[in-house]
Chains A and B, each alone.
Chain A
């Protein structure tokens, strides 16, 4: 949480996460090079390494893009999300290796600066099959570099969560550029159905997963808009909210996390101030609302993080009447204490 910054706040689980990540990357590169040379003894090392790094980065990007929707569909995947930025930086390093070696291989030691050569050596913009594919990869790499260098929480606090989030949503632009880089590049000369099939399956997987998870999200927002200002909205029954958990509801287009805990009910704005994580999918832990993404914590009655942390989210006034939970439509300023609604145990069974 945003108190003081260090490069990486190592802990046991983070070390396990990065150890598995490093092991998987080395296993992939070793497997690709070993099997590649065993089956293609005439291959050159540079080409094989460029391909190993490129395919490794693209595979990792598919994993990264799958984590968000997978967590929406099954919370057991949340541990993958916790250090997703490590995956992103690792993927960028692989992509950078691919891009650097390719630029040296194809553009260095010539009569133009390598980066100029990269942009001007193929000018067939008039023909899709001959369209220059290397600049597509170059622009994708710039986006990935921007994301990797701003991945730390330090930059998150500097840029603010919405700006940081918008910047990092550019990963979908990078993904589209990379897919086109592959389709218009290596798949123009490599004709194996395994390769084109693998890319097609990957694209379908990413799109399909996002559509399925997105449809579930949309259902939450399918509530009537145009609620009267300062009015109380009946959002659910008490028993719809598990103890120490929340129900996410939408009030006039804004998502609200309504928590039940220890005979009380409190409501907070759903997006976590850290990375817009869904607080309503978290739980009450040690008396604090705990975000499922990175464990950021807020007091349920005030929406303020415990000292010395400084994050705050808006709160909502809440009433419980005859077993129904009513939330005021207007949020209170972030960090404003609101008296939790209380209820008797028998109201749960009303």
Chain B
């Protein structure tokens, strides 16, 4: 039998030397086995993915009232009374401010894709997704469908001063559009989303790992996205002290963004 170490391989010849050919066949089998082992290790060793859900490709129809301040939302009446507040967004790394312009306070039917995680739900609106409905007969209304109460959120109870430590994420990706939707690997995307108007959220985990979400606004209820981006505070541990205010299902943390503290 020929010694493959002494055989000479020339790639443009039709056949490899016999001994070398046997060595190569064994090597190919090892390579394919190694490929499967590597695929198994690297895919199975990933951390668990979030349970967050983005119903990509599924269109849902909801009816309710648009409120746009501080962030565009849809107030959907619950059967047992009260409303569920759905945050609104549009395709891409953008907020829904333009999409809801002119609809504030109106009863509408919206078509969009649901995004949800824990206690928060968002709707990604498609093009021309908002249709104004006639006001319900029981509601005092204007002739153009505007419902009493206008387009601003209504505070539930008094605010409380809190100092919270957490991570600033963009609500759209974290709620399920991307996984992972937080931490360093997602920082650039979250930065672009917040810069584009997607509501920023402070995610605070308790000692059991349970998350509570606080939408971030300035002390006067204005947008803080620009300042968060300019200060590079996304996807890092931060401390924010301010007034926590409840708006139905949602919590808002009002604080001057200049007072946000990075915790290195």
Residues on A facing B (Cβ under 8 Å): 9, 11-14, 20, 23-24, 27-33, 35-36, 39-40, 42-44, 46-48, 51-52, 55, 59, 74-76, 78-79, 82-83, 105-112, 117-118, 121-124, 127, 129-130, 132-134, 185-186, 188-192, 194-195, 198, 282-283, 285, 290, 292, 294-295
Contacts and interface: CB of A to CB of B under 8 A. Distances in A.
B150 interface: no
A46 B181 CA distance: 13
Given A27-B35, A83-B11, A195-B42, A124 B192 contact: no
A20 B42 contact: no
Given A189-B184, A198-B42, A20 B31 contact: yes
A143 B183 CA distance: 28
Contact of A28 (B35, B93, B187, B264): B35
Contact of A52 (B43, B185, B188): B43
B189 to A, nearest CB: 4
B186 interface: yes
B12 to A, nearest CB: 5
Interface of B: 4-5, 8-16, 20, 23-24, 28, 31-32, 35-36, 38-52, 54, 91-94, 178-180, 183-189, 191-193, 195-196, 232, 236, 264
B93 A127 contact: no
20 contacts: A20-B28, A24-B31, A27-B39, A31-B43, A40-B43, A44-B178, A48-B43, A79-B11, A106-B188, A108-B92, A110-B92, A111-B192, A118-B188, A122-B191, A186-B185, A189-B185, A190-B47, A198-B38, A285-B8, A285-B10
B180 A189 contact: yes
B8 A32 contact: no
A13 B9 CA distance: 11
A110 B192 contact: yes
A100 to B, nearest CB: 15
A113 B236 CA distance: 24
Contacts of A11: 11-12, 14
